[in-house]
Structure 1
Amino acid sequence: MKRAVVVQAKRTPIGKENGMLHLLRPHELAAPLLQHLGRGIEDKVDDVILGNVVGPGGNVARLSALEAGLPFSVTGMTIDRQCSAGLEAIRMACYLTQGGAGQCYIAGGVESTSTSPYPTRAQFSPDSIGDPDMGVAAEYVAREYGITREMQDEYALISYKRSWEAYEKGLYKQEILESGQFEMDEEFLRPRNMERLVKRAKAVFVQENGTVTAANSCGIHDGACAVLVMEETLANQLDFQPVLRFIDSQVSGVHPHYPGIAPVPAIQELLKRNRLTIEDIGLVEINEAFASKIVACTQELSIPYEKLNVRGGALTLGHPYGASGAILVTRLFYEVQRRKDVKYVLAAIGSGGGIGITILFEVVV
């Protein structure tokens, strides 16, 4: 069987909804990434696969590929698996490479909430089951798994501190492809007293005994992210350094009222099938849509905070839906190159409708 490896990864800066990136449509956000990742190997790119959730419809990946100046032969495919879409795009590219359908894919996701033509979200679940908003569903997770407001706030502060530390050390610069005047994530343009904000924030989704606040939840954001997936032999022939080798993945479904816990069964099944335990995994990235989700997942999986989201995440930077799964992989791509003691890493995300996706990579460098 052929082996799929991630050899490059880049993202845009992340902007707030109606913030610094608000004039850029999805294909305009994604195109510079595709151009960068495809530079010099345009004739080798078999396809572009992008996740997109709230954007204008149509084939955003094809439009982005054309905008990037890639050959007309690069057709482009756009997928929507809600917040899991960017990770699913990478998962699909790895399986296509592994199966021999192609040897080189650009995969990731893009979201422009600022230019979305849709005033409301899509339906996640039929009325007969119930279709809670994600914030309400985060409260359901907190209640079902005994996650208190204090536990959520504690994790939120850990994440905020890690994000700011990573920014101040210049670590995010490695991830970001600077585009025009945009060089950093919008969150870092104005420092805030997060300890005070976390302490004072009030519940926003469930008023009576609510625990989920604006300070322990992610915001709504714009951004794009993509990685270059190659068959390992081709990567070596073209003098690319493989960093992450795709090993396996798992998709699992849970009750739509508890999407935040969906990564748990996916990770459990993936580890079991590969005869691994969480102790074997050096780094874990789980999308920080809500602190309640992260605390519940770590509790159920016994993941120590020391190996989870070690450079912060969406609670600070934001959650551009279709891109977030690819941002997790990009974070791992750069972090493993700073370490010498990591063999396996996991990226995981839960999404609307109760779907969890996780990918297991082996570190090559």
Structure 2
Amino acid sequence: GRFDSQIIPLEVPIFDEEGKRTEESITFSRDEIPRDTSLDALAELKPVAREDGVHTAGTSSQIADGAAAVLLMTAAKAEELGVKPLARVVDAQLVGCDPVLMLEGPIPATEKMLEKTELKISDIDVFEVNEAFASVVLSWAKTVGADMAKVNPNGGAISLGHPLGATGCFLTTKAVHELQRNDGEYGLIAMCCGGGLGTGTIIQKI
């Protein structure tokens, strides 16, 4: 599958009925996500928080367990260690936004990065925007003019889960590997954060 090159399987020991560890183990590479559902079931879900709200359990990400890692270093250090980089960081931004409307953080982060790098939204080959809620990605794409065919092409947090502390590295990993797969050049990663913050990073495949 699309994630085979990104997943590091774990060897998990098997315990007997008494809770004692056995000599056997299994290779664990997939969690309980994605959940089974249907369009009919999603359509029946009621909004949360308020009756006229837009967020439902079906348009909200799942808090999930997970871990991700990104090895980050200077070009000089990579050369010294003999490490072949997959991508370079072109720009990164941390912005403040309305703490009540904190979900809009990816919008100013994206706008600042494009302005600073003089790249156009059409120059980006893959977007990984954290899908805390479906409205985050839809509002962001509408405002910045992103091609939705390039946005979260292998699924967002609604389908894959949102392991809070790991999500940033998870999105970066997905963008790096998707650039390799589709032979793209630039990837853009953006997230909303609690407290009225937004972050963004533009990477370039090497």
TMscore range, shorter length: 0.7 to 0.9
Contact 1:280 1:344 in 2 (8 A): yes
Alignment partner of 1:345 is 2:187: yes
Q: Does 1:187 align with 2:61?
A: no
1:363 alignment counterpart? 205
* Counterpart secondary structure, 1:228: coil
> Helix, strand or coil for the counterpart of 2:4?
helix
Q: What residue is the counterpart of 2:48 in the other structure?
A: 204
Q: CA deviation at 1:258?
A: 0.8
Counterpart code for 2:189: A
List runs of 5+ in structure 1 lacking aligned partners: 1-169
**In 2, Cα distance between equivalents of 1:327 and 1:197:** 28
Q: Which amino acid aligns with 1:177?
A: I
Matched to 1:362, the amino acid is: Q
Describe the superposition over 1:181-201 as per-residue Cα deviations: whole angstroms up to 9, x where unpaired: 42113214xx62332221111
Q: 2:77 aligns with which of 234, 242, 248?
A: 234
- Matched residue SS, 1:173: coil
Aligned residues: 191
Determine the structure 2 residue equivalent to 1:325.
168
Instruction: Give the equivalent residue in structure 2 for 1:147.
Output: none
Percent of aligned pairs with the same residue? 35
Could you list the runs of 5+ residues in structure 2 that have no partner in the other structure? 13-27
Aligned partner letter, 2:107: V
1:354 aligns with 2:202: no
Contact conserved, 2:188 with 2:201, CA < 8 A, in 1?
yes
Q: Is the 8 A contact 2:179 2:186 kept in 1?
A: no
Query: Does the CA-based 8 Å contact 1:185-1:317 persist in structure 2?
Result: no
Pairs within 5 Å for 1:117-196: 170-181=1-12, 182-188=28-34, 192-196=36-40
CA-CA distance at 1:363 after TM superposition:
1.1
- Measured in 2, the distance between the counterparts of 1:312 and 1:236 equals 34
- 1:1-365 to structure 2, matched below 5 A, reads 170-181=1-12, 182-188=28-34, 192-206=36-50, 208-340=51-183, 342-364=184-206
How far the C-alpha of 1:218 sits from its partner, in A, is 0.6
1:209 Cα offset (Å): 1.1
Q: CA deviation at 1:237?
A: 4.4
Secondary structure, aligned partner of 1:296: helix
What per-residue deviation string (whole Å, max 9, x for no partner) do you get for residues 152-187 of structure 1? xxxxxxxxxxxxxxxxxx122221111124211321
Higher helix share: 1
Alpha-carbon distance between aligned partners in 2 of 1:359 and 1:216, rounded to the nearest angstrom: 25
Residues 104 and 192 in structure 2, CA contact (< 8 A), matched pair in contact too: yes
Amino acid at match of 1:184: R
Q: TM-score normalized by structure 2?
A: 0.87
Structure 2 Cα separation of the partners of residues 328 and 271 of structure 1: 19
CA-based RMSD = 1.5
Q: CA deviation at 1:353?
A: 1.0
| Structure 1 SS opposite 2:131 | coil
Query: Counterparts of 2:60 and 2:107 in 1: how far apart (Å)?
Result: 19
State whether residues 259 and 352 of structure 1, in contact with CA within 8 Å, keep that contact through their aligned partners in structure 2: yes
Distance 2:79 2:31 in 1: 33
Q: Is the 8 A contact 1:251 1:355 kept in 2?
A: yes
Contact 2:125 2:179 in 1 (8 A): no
Question: Could you tell me how far apart the structure 2 residues matched to 1:355 and 1:252 are?
Answer: 6
